Amino acid sequence: QVQLVQSGSELKKPGASVKVSCKASGYTFTSYPMNWVRQAPGQGLEWMGWINTNTGNPTYAQGFTGRFVFSLDTSVSAAYLQISSLKAEDTAVYYCARDKYGSGSYGFDPWGQGTLVTVSS
């Protein structure tokens, strides 16, 4: 079945970097864009941007430029989110989520299980 499996929770100190992985299975990885969504503790869902899994071209939402990098390894059907110069306010659950149909117009399905990134000294 179509599935996204993310890497485990991370505890990082301020200023450090983290790389979250999202491994896809059950479909042709390069046929569907991958999105990243952030959920701060007790808060709602915030779209961070997406990456074209065919070309590798990323698009970042406002507020997620500079320290946030989306990347791919198509040989293992994986997408990555790297966050550098971590701040306490980066503490959140980060989700990868596939475009349902590939056009971006019909929602995100499926989602990874989420990766909790905690930034604390």
Partner 1 sequence: DIQMTQSPSSLSASVGDRVTITCRASQSISNYLNWYQQKPGKAPKLLIHAESSLQSGVPSRFSGSGSGTDFTLTISSLQPEDFATYYCQQSYSTPPTFGQGTKVEIK
Q: Which residues bind partner 1 (CB under 8 A)?
A: 37, 44-47, 59, 61-62, 95, 97, 100, 104-114
Minimum distance from residue 98 beta carbon to partner 1 (Å): 10
Q: Is the dihedral of CA 76, 5, 53, 92 positive or negative?
A: negative
Distance CA 70, CA 105 (A): 21
Our CB check for partner 1 shows the closer of 41 and 75 to be: 41
Distance CA 104, CA 71 (A): 19
Minimum distance from residue 1 beta carbon to partner 1 (Å): 11
Minimum distance from residue 14 beta carbon to partner 1 (Å): 26
Minimum distance from residue 45 beta carbon to partner 1 (Å): 4
- Which residue reads 């306010």 in tokens? 89
Q: Quick one: DSSP state of residue 76? A: G
Cβ–Cβ < 8 Å for 4, 98: yes
Our CB check for partner 1 shows the closer of 1 and 121 to be: 1
Our CB check for partner 1 shows the closer of 37 and 117 to be: 37
Our CB check for partner 1 shows the closer of 72 and 98 to be: 98
Query: Residues with Cβ < 8 Å from 64, sequence gap 6 or more?
Result: 48, 49
